[in-house]
Each structure stands twice: as structure tokens, then as C-alpha cells.
Structure 1
Amino acid sequence: MNALERSIRAHIMRSLRDTSAPPSLDELATAHDTTTDAVREALHSLAAQHRLALRPDTGAIWMAHPFSAVPTDFVVTSGHRSWWANCVWDGFAILGLVGDGWLDTRSPQTGDSIRLTVERGRVTGDAIVHFLVPARHFWDDIGFT
């Protein structure tokens, strides 16, 4: 990862943390005193390194783990703020970054609502989380994972 890529990635992460949305190509270009083409090239390089994921249809920022830039079934809340996560694992990672809160999702089997709560940095309750895809295969199809 070169200096521009590192800086762009940090900018994306701050934006997702602070606003729940990724910055636009224009915002990134302006903030880094470069062109949108250079930003696009950096984003594609970051995606190739598995540092973020781009939408296959538009090339827009899709995921910058643990954050999702698009609505998902995993909504993380801390205080009065909320974010989309890509999965339960990422939801817990967001709470690790922003502090205590909860993750709302649904059972894929029954559709029942599930709330997983983190208090004082620890998951409470007795829920079990199952990862269908082994971690070593997450990037085989990151959109499915």
C-alpha cells in the first residue's frame, strides 16, 4: 500500500465512522490534492489488496471492513448513531471501534429479530453466532460472505 492509498483508506474509514457514508471520488480527490482518476486507481489497488471492496456494477465503495457503505441486515447502534455492518463479525468490530451498543439482525432460518449487545466491551447473553463460510474463504466471494 503506497502513501496515497494509505491516506485514502484512512479517509474512507474516518468518513464511514463519522458519517456512516463513504466519501465521493470528488471529495477524496480534493482532500488528497489529486485527480478522480488517481483516486479511482488507488481504490482499485486497495480492492485488489482486499483492503476494501468495490461494487461490481458501479465501482463505488461497497465495503471498507468492518463498515458497509450500503444497507445490510446488520445494523449496529451505539448511542444515537448507527452503521451498517457486512456480517455479525463486522458488527462486533464496529462496536470495538465506537464503544458499547448493539447489533440488530434477523435469523436467516426463522426471520426472527436478534439483538446482540456489547456492554463494557463484552458480548452479553447466550446467543450463538455461526459463520457459514470459513474465514480463510471470506474473500472467495466477499459479497456472499
Structure 2
Amino acid sequence: MRKITDTISIMAAMFLALGILMPLSVRAAPAEKIAIVDIQQVTASYPGIDAILQKLENMRKAAQNDYNQRSKGMAADKRRELSISIGREESAKEDVLLKPVREKIQKAVKAAAADAGVAVVLEAAVTTYSSTDITAAVIQKVKQ
């Protein structure tokens, strides 16, 4: 019984010493302010997005027509290779068209978060609730 009491006393002293020696910032770190943003809404509000989406749709139709023309009479494995090749080309073209949109939205999110004193921004679709929604501020910055 004496050993158990001594062990508990030693452990309690260690925890007390750790608590005293532990930096204050580790013991009581302030909570990070978290906000949400609806990226779909921001993207839909992006200036010129309709023209970009129409261009993407036209590119997809052209790619489908290209595939239909080139794949006539091909064996199944060659059609699959052609499909993959055309798909990669279209993906690269899509990335080129959408990269400036993504970059501008990302900058707007960072700026709106900084203005609101927010440390973390989550996509609205991945969370149930947040008292801070910066979507409107992001849309305003994207339109500038």
C-alpha cells in the first residue's frame, strides 16, 4: 500500500511540475476563428463565368465530335486509348481556362478571411454550422 501511495505522490508531483513548466501558450491556446465560404456561390458570381462555362461546353462538344470521327472502325482497345488521350487534352485545356478563376477566388478568400480576422476557412458544404460566413465578402472582392 505504501508503494502505491508513493507512486501516486510521485506522479502527482510530476504532473504539477509539468503544469508549471509548460509554456502558457500550450496550456491555454486561444481558439481559432473559423469561417465558411460557399465556393459554388462565389464561382457562380464570378464576372464572365458564363462565357467561360460556354467555352468549356463548346470544347467538350468538339472533343466528343473529334472522338466520334477518329474512333470509327477502331478496335475497342484503341478507342479506349483515344478516349484517354482526348480526355487528358481536354483536362489540360480546362485547367488553363479555370486557373485564373481559381486563383482570383483563392486570393479573395484569403483577403476576406484576413479582413474578418479568421484563421481557418472551410467550404460551406463540409460543415454543419459556422457563425461566420464570409461568402458575401468574397463575392464582393472577386467582383472588384
TM-score normalised according to structure 2 size: 0.22
Task: Give the number of the structure whose residues are more often strand, by fraction.
Answer: 1
Task: Give the number of the structure whose residues are more often helix, by fraction.
Answer: 2
Query: Computing the radius of gyration over CA atoms, which structure comes out larger, 1 or 2?
Result: 2
